Amino acid sequence: MHFPCLDHLEKRSQSYESGPEPDYSAPTGYEVFHSTNPLSLDYGGVLPEFDIAYESWGKLNSDRSNAILIHTGLSASSHAKSHEKNSAPGWWEKFIGPGLSIDTNKFFVICTNVVGGCYGSTGPSSIDPADGQRYATRFPIISIQDIARAQYRLLTEQLGIQKLYASVGSSMGGQQSLAFACEFPENVGRIVSISGCARSHPYSIAMRHAQRQILMSDPNWKRGFYYDSIPPHSGMKLAREVATITYRSGPEWEMRFGRDRADPSRPPALCPDFLIETYLDHQGEKWCLEYDPNSFLYVSKAMDLFDLGSLSRRNVRDNFTSSGRKSAIQANECALPKTPYREQPRTKVTSLTISDLVDGMLPLTDHKVLVIGVESDLLFPAWQQREIAEVIGLVQQNNDKGSIEYVELDQETSMYGHDTFLLDLKNVGGPIKRFLER
């Protein structure tokens, strides 16, 4: 039996034996904010200096009160919309622009690549100023709140913006949007969180863990020190295929692919054969050399660690910040035990209470908030968005300054699953526009 899918992977590896390695840099046309002030991180590390790549659209008004910060999902660059310096369509091209959902005739719109990423912002592929070598897996563990603090530096120090009109994000960006407002409640007026959550739950943590393990099992990963050599593209491709399963919904795939095979005239094969298999293979193939694998590991881990509950934040503060800050390399000296952890059966279930989230999200008392959930979403199920709305409703119940609006798209309205925020201009973009402009 022939295995053309494996032959292709082997040929791709061979093509990188003599270099060059993939270019993980962002598309052209972005600006860079360089901070020389150290950034202290939640889990004990310090970045002595850092860069943030960002792009902007529209015009900042005279009192700098019309700025909207767009937060990205896990692997997105700052290129959310085309512009003069880069005419390629952005990942939210149809949502941002004159008269669109986020109207650049009215708002000054900023989008950043996150710290930990690879599209112009400081991340594992960046040079450590201490020794001139790539950070690789010496890079410190980061949190969603760390990402928000870096963005705050950009806004206040580079752009002179003291208060955002709105903080808007989808998926991991929905986490960032809430985290930014909780960290800097006086510096943002409105919040939009789409297909996000107030804390990561076991299912999504498990899915991202599986993706990381697949990537790290690629022998070319070399514990993160693969730069200037063969990249771990096979592991990255498979990790992306697993991730793609969580981005769309079963009903959509039933409609698009059904049980159809790519070529029914041929006998079945162990390489991609069904149309759904060829789709997953294509998605993995397209992405595996476009995004730095180490950035995928670090940013996805930040998503896992996300929890706006007061107990979680208190534990982070007590366990890490009180012991003093360490450099990136020192912070990563903490490792797992030499022998694997054993499963520890729980004698009692410690529930993640709503009251804990209420305490943690008290800074959102005065804000206007829009939360959008999608019934067909597998990765961030709609009950997680309903949880956000319920918590904010409790936070604001005795305050008439804030407001909470919840929109849920049922399966008949949208069957695109988690990717609905990228595809459904009418049912996602419409509520955003109404919320921002009233």
36, 129: one domain: yes
428, 280: one domain: no
Decide if 120 is inside a domain.
Answer: yes
Average pLDDT on 257-285 reads: 93
Q: Return d(Cα 135, Cα 364) in angstroms, integer.
A: 36
Helix (H) or strand (E) holding 403: strand 403-409
pLDDT at 165: 98
165, 248: one domain: no
pLDDT at 9: 87
Of 377, 414, 419, 424, the catalytic one is: 377
226, 189: one domain: no
Q: What is the CATH number of the domain that holds 251?
A: 1.10.1740.110
The proportion of the chain whose per-residue pLDDT surpasses 70, expressed as a percent, equals 92
131, 189: one domain: yes
The proportion of the chain whose per-residue pLDDT surpasses 90, expressed as a percent, equals 76
Residue ranges of the alpha helices (H) in 167-232?
172-183, 202-216
Decide if 174 is inside a domain.
Answer: yes
pLDDT at 330: 52
pLDDT at 327: 54
Q: What is the CATH number of the domain that holds 162?
A: 3.40.50.1820
pLDDT at 321: 64
Of 82, 125, 167, 171, the catalytic one is: 171
pLDDT at 289: 85
Decide if 80 is inside a domain.
Answer: yes
Average pLDDT on 235-249 reads: 94
292, 369: one domain: no
9, 37: one domain: no
Decide if 340 is inside a domain.
Answer: no
Q: Count the Cβ atoms, other than its own, within 10 Å of residue 303.
A: 21
Tens-place pLDDT, residues 391-438: 999 999 988 899 999 999 998 898 899 999 999 999 999 999 999 999
pLDDT at 121: 97
Return the minimum-mean-pLDDT range out of 12-16, 175-179, 259-263.
12-16
User: Which residue range is the domain that position 219 belongs to?
Assistant: 4-13+206-298
Residue 7: active-site member:
no
Decide if 26 is inside a domain.
Answer: no
Residue labelled with tokens 């503060």: 317
Q: Return d(Cα 142, Cα 128) in angstroms, integer.
A: 16
Do 357 and 199 meet the contact criterion of CB atoms below 8 Å apart? yes
39, 79: one domain: yes
Which of 150, 92, 123 shows the shortest CA–CA distance to 296? 123
Asked whether the predicted pLDDT for residue 329 surpasses 70, the reply is: no
pLDDT at 335: 54
44, 191: one domain: yes
Decide if 332 is inside a domain.
Answer: no
Tens-place pLDDT, residues 334-359: 455 667 667 666 666 556 678 999 99
Tens-place pLDDT, residues 138-175: 999 999 999 999 999 999 999 999 999 999 999 999 99
283, 365: one domain: no
Average pLDDT on 122-148 reads: 96
149, 130: one domain: yes
Asked whether the predicted pLDDT for residue 186 surpasses 90, the reply is: yes
Number of domains observed in the structure of the chain: 2
Which of 385, 437, 434, 433 shows the shortest CA–CA distance to 410? 385
Decide if 329 is inside a domain.
Answer: no
Residue 418: active-site member:
yes
Of 42, 83, 418, 419, the catalytic one is: 418
Decide if 20 is inside a domain.
Answer: no
184, 214: one domain: no
Q: Return d(Cα 163, Cα 160) in angstroms, integer.
A: 9
Residue 377: active-site member:
yes
Residue 287 pLDDT class (50, 70, 90 cuts):
confident
